[in-house]
Chain A
Amino acid sequence: MIDRLANRGVAHAYVRSRDQLGRIPFWARVIAILAVVGGAVLLNGDDYVTAVAVTVATYAMLGLGLNIVVGYAGLLDLGYAAFFAIGAYTSSLLMTEAHWNFFATLPLAVLFTGTAGAILGYPTLRLRSDYLAIVTLGFGEMTRITFNNWDYAGGPNGILQIPWPNFFGYELNTQGDFLIVGLVLLAVAMIFARNLDHSRLGRGWVAIREDEFAAESVGVPSLRLKLFAYVMGGMWGGLAGAFFATRIGAIDPTSFTFQLSVLVLIVIVLGGTGSLPGVLVGALVVVAMPEVLREFADRRLLIFAVLLIGMMLLRPQGLWPRIRRKPKPFYGLQEEESEDVADRILREHQVQMEERERRHAAAGRQVPQKGEALLEIEGLVQQFGGLRAVDNVTFEVRRGEIFSIIGPNGGGKTTLFNCITGVQKPKRGKIRFDGRSVVGLRPHVIVSRGIGRTFQGIRLFKNMAVFENVMVGLYPRHRTMTWQTMLHTPGERKDEVRTLQESRRWLGFVGLESVAGRLATELSYADQRRVEIARALAAHPHLVLFDEPAAGMNPTEKLELVSIIRKIRDLGITVVLIDHDMSLVMRVSDRIAVLDHGVLIALGKPAEIQQNPAVIEAYLGREEDLLEDKAQGA
C-alpha cells in the first residue's frame, strides 16, 4: 500500500516535471541539449570521439530532411542521397571554382536542392506510393551516375581540396570547430522541422498520410503539399551535403550511393518515423554502433538489415516514437460562453459572406440571393462502362434551403456528389456554383469555392485527435506562408490560436467539445459523423453536401442531427442531403429530388413527393410486379 502510494507520488512528480518541461519552448530545449552534448564532447577533447559526433550530426541533419518526406508526408524516398550529393557538389564547386565563402554557399546549396526536389516531385507525385519509391531510387542512381560522368565536377575523382570554412577571418579546421558548426546547423534544422510539424502544413501532411482522398476533399491541396515535402526534404539534405563536403575536404560520387539513402532511411525507421528525438537516436545508433562494436563493423549492413526488418515487425513506431497527444487541447484558451459560441459563429460566417460578396462584386459577378439558384446542375451524365450512373440530370439548389436527394440504392446519388465535389469528372453536362462552372476543378479548389462535404463511409483521419480533424477542415481558410511557419512568427502563432479556437467553436456547435482531445476512432459512430460535419463546416462553406449522415444513428441521435441541420441552415448555409431515412428527410427538407437508376424521376416539396406515383413505383415496385411475384412464390 505504502509502496503504491509512493509510486503514485513519483508518478505525480514525473507528470508535474514533464508538464513544466513542456512549458519550456522547444527551441530552448534543443539548444540546451545540443549545448550540453557538444560541451561534453569538446571537454572530453578526444579527436576521434569528436569526429564521430560530427558524423552523427550530419546523419541527424539528413534524417531530419528525410523525416519530412517519409515521416510527415508518408512518401517513401529511396534516392535521398541525391539531395545530399547536389548540396555537396553545389557548395564545393562554388568554393573551389568561384572561391566563395562556405557560409555564403549554404543558401545556394539549399536553393539548388530545393529546386531539385521540385523537379523530381512535380511530375512524379501523382504516382502511387510504391512506384514513387522506385522512381526516387532511379533518381538517386541517375544523379550519382551523372556526377560520375560529369567532367567539370571531376568525374569519378570528384572534387579535391575543398577549402576549410572561414568564419569572419577565423579558419575552422579542427574537429571541434566542425562539431560546433554542425550542432548549430543541426539546431536550426531541428527547430525548423519542429515548427513545420506543429503547423497547418504539418497537419496537412498527416492528413494526407492518413487518407489522401479525404484530405483533398476537405480542402487540403494534396499535390502541392507533397511537393512541399520534397522541396523541404531536399533543402535539409542540401544543408547536410554542403557541411559534409567542407568537413571532409574532398567528395566523389562514391560518397552518395544507394547505400547512403538506405542508411538514412534506417536512421528514421529505427528512431521512429515522424519523431524528432527519434532521428537523433537513430543517427546515434547508425553512426556510433559500428564504432563501438568494432569487431562487427564489417557486418554493420547485415546488422542494420536485421534491425530494419525486426523494427518493422516488432516495433514499427520506432525506439523513440512520435507522440501526438493532447488530452486537453483547449487548455489555456480564452473561455467562451455557449450562447457566445453560436453568436461568434454567426458573426464569423457573416463576415465570410460579406467578403464573398465583395469578391464577387469586384469580379463583376452577382451572388445568388436567398431563394435564387446557388447550385445549378444541367444535363449531367456520368457513365462507368456501359452503366449510366447519372443520366441527364437537371435541377437546381436554391440558396438557403435544405434539399434532399433520395432514391433506391444504386440510384446515382453518391456519384452525383462526387461529380459536384470534383472527385469524378462528369462525362457531360454542366455544374455551376455561384454562377461559375466547377467542372474539372480539383476537389480542394471546389472546397475553397465554398462546397463542403461528408462521406457515406466515414473518412476521418483516424490517428488524429478530434480537434485536429476539425483543424484540418480549416486549412483552406488560412494564408500563412511557409517561411512564417518555419520561423514560427507571431503572425503564424496568432493564426494557429485562431484555428484552434474556431475548431473548438465548431465542435461546440455539433456538441462534441468535451471529446475534442480523443482520437477520432474512439468515438461512437454517430459522434464520428458529427465530427465529419464539424470538419466540413470549419471551411465556412456556402453549401454542404451530407452523404447519409443519419446512417447508423439511433432515434435520439437522429433528432439531434435534425436540429444540427436546421442550425446550419440558420447560419445561411445551404444543405444538400442524401439519406434513406424517410421520416428524417420528410421532416427536415424544403425540397426533395428522387433519383432512380441515374434518372431524376421527381422533384418537389415533401408532400408532393410522398404522393408521386413514379416515386412509389421506384420504391415499392408496380402493383402488377407484386402480383407476379406472389404468383411465382405460390
Chain B
Amino acid sequence: MGAFLQYTVIGLTVGSFYALVALGYTIVYGIIRLINFAQGDLSMVGAFLGWTLLVSFGFQRLPLYLALIIAFVVPMLGTAAVNIVILQFAYKPLLRKSLLAILITALGMSLLLQNTAELIWGPSIQAYPPNLLPSTGFFMGPVHVTYVQLALVFVSLLLMGGMVLFVQGTTVGTAMRALAVDHDAARLMGINVDGIIRLAFVLGAMLAAASGVMLGLYYVQIQFTMGFLLGLRAFTAAVLGGIGNIPGAMAGGMLIGLLESYTTGYLSGSWKDVIVFGVLITVLIVKPTGLFGERVAERM
C-alpha cells in the first residue's frame, strides 16, 4: 500500500508535466486540426533555454525566487516566439492544403528543432543545478512527498487553471472556442482568425516551455532528444482525455503519469512505453473520442 501511494505521488507529479504539454496539443488541435508534432520538442527548447539562463548565465546565484521567475518566464516567451516563427513560415502556407502535407511538415519541424538544439547545446546530457531547489520533504504516513513535487504540481495546476479561466471566461477565449467550431463563420463574425491561431500557438508553446523547465528542475538531466517521447506521451494524454477538450487533457496527463509510474514500479521501466502506446491504440480503437469526449469534428 505504501509503495502504491508512493507511485501515485510520483505519477501525479510527472503527469502534471504531461498535462501541460497535452494542453498545448489540445489547444492547437482544437483550432487548426493539426497534430503539432513539434509540441514535445518545444518543451525541450524551453528546458534548454531555462538551463542556459540558470547555468550558462549564472542566474542560479540570484535569490531563489528571482532565479525561478526568470527561468520560467523567459523560456516561455522565447519558446512562444519560436512557435510563432514556425507557424508563419511552415504551417501557414499549408493550412488550406492536404492534411498529409501539413502532418509531414510538422514532423519535419520536430526533427529540425531537435537537430538545431543539438547544434546549439550539444549532443550530450546537460544538468540543471541539482541543489537549486531543496530536496527536503515530509512524510504523509508511509509516503514521502518532497516540497519540490508539491510546488511543481501546484504551478502546473495554476497554469492549467489560468488556461481554463482564460478560455471559458474571456472574450478572446470565446473567440477561440468559436474558431474551434467553424473558421469561416468565425471570420464572418469579425473574429481575427489569424490572430487567434497565433494566440493558440503562443499559449501552446508557453505551456510546453513551462513543463520543460519543470522537467529539468525535477529530473535534473536534459537532452535534445527528450521532447520526442514527452510529446508522444502528452499526445496520448490529449487523445485519452478527448482531443480539443481542455479538462480532458489535464485528466489524461495525470492518468498517463500514473500509468507510467505504476508500470515502472510494478513491472519494469523498459515496458512503460509499450503500455502507454498500448493504451493509446486501445483508446483510439475502442473510444476514439477519448474518455471525456472530444470537442472537434473532422475537417472534411
Contact = CB atoms under 8 A, between A and B. Distances in A.
Contact of B111 (A123, A269, A305, A313): A305
A308 B108 contact: yes
A146 B274 contact: yes
A135 B281 contact: yes
Contact of A141 (B107, B235, B273): B273
A333 interface: no
Contact of B100 (A76, A142, A305): A76
B6 interface: no
A193 interface: no
A309 B101 contact: no
Interface string A298-309: 010110111011
Interface string B106-132: 011101101110110000000000000
A124 B108 CA distance: 24
B227 to A, nearest CB: 12
B115 A305 contact: yes
Interface in B260-295: 270-271, 273-274, 277-278, 280-281, 284-285, 288
Given A133-B103, A313-B93, A262 B270 contact: no
Contacts of B271: 145, 149
A265 B109 CA distance: 14
Interface residues of A, number: 38
Interface in B213-267: 228, 232, 235-236, 239
A129 interface: yes
Contacts of B118: 302
Nearest to A269: B104
A78 B107 contact: yes
A142 B278 contact: yes
B99 A302 contact: no
A142 B277 contact: yes
Contacts of A128: 298
A613 interface: no
A302 B112 contact: yes
A581 to B, nearest CB: 27
A409 B295 CA distance: 29
B25 to A, nearest CB: 11
Q: Which of A127, A305, A308 has the most CB of B within 10 A?
A: A305
Contacts of B281: 123-124, 135, 138-139
A337 interface: no
A330 B116 CA distance: 53
A229 to B, nearest CB: 14
Interface in A136-169: 137-139, 141-142, 145-146, 148-149
Contacts of A127: 284-285, 288
A148 B285 contact: no
Interface string A305-337: 110110011001000000000000000000000
Contacts of A306: 108, 112
Given A131-B288, A134-B235, A138-B232, A312 B104 contact: yes
B94 to A, nearest CB: 7
B111 A312 contact: no
Interface in A227-247: none
A606 interface: no
B111 A133 contact: no
A130 interface: yes
Contacts of B93: 313
A422 interface: no
B99 A130 contact: yes
A74 interface: yes
Given A127-B284, A142-B277, A148 B270 contact: yes
B94 A262 contact: no
Contacts of B232: 134, 137-138, 141
A135 B279 CA distance: 10
Contacts of B278: 142
Interface string A53-86: 0000000000000000010001010100000000
B107 A130 contact: no
Contact of B108 (A70, A309, A316): A309
Contact of A74 (B35, B100, B105): B100
Contacts of A262: 107, 111
Contacts of A192: none
A521 B70 CA distance: 56
Contacts of A78: 107
Nearest to B116: A302
Interface string A275-301: 000000000000000000000000101
A500 to B, nearest CB: 29
B90 interface: yes
A125 to B, nearest CB: 10
Contacts of A304: 111
Contact of A129 (B90, B99, B115): B99
A130 B285 contact: no
Contacts of B112: 302, 305-306, 309
A258 B229 CA distance: 11
Contacts of B236: 138
B274 A145 contact: yes
Interface in B62-114: 90, 93-94, 97, 99-105, 107-109, 111-112, 114
A78 B107 CA distance: 10
A138 B114 CA distance: 19
Contacts of A70: 100
Contacts of A131: 239, 284, 288
Contacts of A129: 99-100, 103
A302 B112 CA distance: 6
Interface in A89-121: none
Contact of B109 (A139, A149, A258, A309): A309
Contacts of B34: 130
A128 B228 CA distance: 22
Contacts of A149: 270-271
Nearest to A138: B277
Contact of A130 (B35, B105, B274, B280): B35
Interface in B2-41: 33-35
B224 to A, nearest CB: 11
B288 A312 contact: no
Closest 9 pairs (CB-CB, A-B) = A138-B277, A308-B108, A302-B115, A305-B111, A305-B112, A309-B108, A312-B105, A123-B285, A301-B115
17 contacts: A78-B107, A127-B284, A129-B99, A130-B33, A135-B281, A142-B278, A145-B271, A265-B104, A265-B107, A269-B104, A301-B114, A302-B116, A302-B119, A308-B104, A312-B94, A312-B104, A316-B97
Interface of B: 33-35, 90, 93-94, 97, 99-105, 107-109, 111-112, 114-116, 118-119, 228, 232, 235-236, 239, 270-271, 273-274, 277-278, 280-281, 284-285, 288, 298
Interface of A: 70, 74, 76, 78, 123-124, 127-131, 133-135, 137-139, 141-142, 145-146, 148-149, 258, 262, 265, 269, 299, 301-302, 304-306, 308-309, 312-313, 316
